[in-house]
Amino acid sequence: MRNLILGAGALALTGAAVSYICLKEIKRREQKDMNDKMIDKVESINEAVQKKADKVKGVSADAAKKASHALNDAHGRSEQMQERKEHIKKDLDTGFKKIKTDIHKTKKNISKELKSL
C-alpha cells in the first residue's frame, strides 16, 4: 500500500511537472504568436503610413511644380507688360515731340501770315 501511495504521489508529481512544462510551452508559443501578430500589425501600419507619405510627397511636388509654372507665367506676363509699358511710353514721347514740333511750326506759320497782313 505504501508503494501504491508513493507511486500515486510520484505520478501526481510527475503529472504536475509535465503540466507545468506543457503550460509553460503553451504560454511561450502564445506569447511568440502574439509578438508575431504585433510585428505584422506594426509593419502593416508602417506600410500604410509610408504609402500616405509618398502620396503626400507626390501631391506636394505636383503643387510646387504647378506653383512654379504659375510664377514663371506671371513673371513672363509681367515682362510682357513691362515691354508694352515701355513701348507705349516711347509712342507717347514720340507723339508728344511730333505734336510739339507741329505746334511750333503752326505758330511760325501763323506768325508769318500775321506779318504779311
What does the pLDDT read at residue 117? 67
Inside any domain, residue 109: no
Inside any domain, residue 106: no
Number of domains, the chain: 1
Inside any domain, residue 110: no
Q: How far apart are CA 40 and CA 15, in angstroms?
A: 37
Q: Which residue has the cell 501600419?
A: 45
Q: How far apart are CA 5 and CA 13, in angstroms?
A: 12
Residues 48, 49, 53, 56: what is their CA dihedral angle, to the nearest 10 degrees?
Answer: 70
Inside any domain, residue 65: yes
DSSP structure class, residue 46:
H
Inside any domain, residue 99: no
Inside any domain, residue 107: no
pLDDT tens per residue across all 117 residues of the chain: 777 777 777 777 787 777 878 888 888 888 888 888 888 888 888 888 888 888 888 788 888 888 888 877 777 777 888 888 888 888 888 888 888 888 888 888 888 877 776
Inside any domain, residue 40: yes
Inside any domain, residue 21: yes
Instruction: Domain of residue 78: give its range.
Output: 1-86
What does the pLDDT read at residue 13? 77
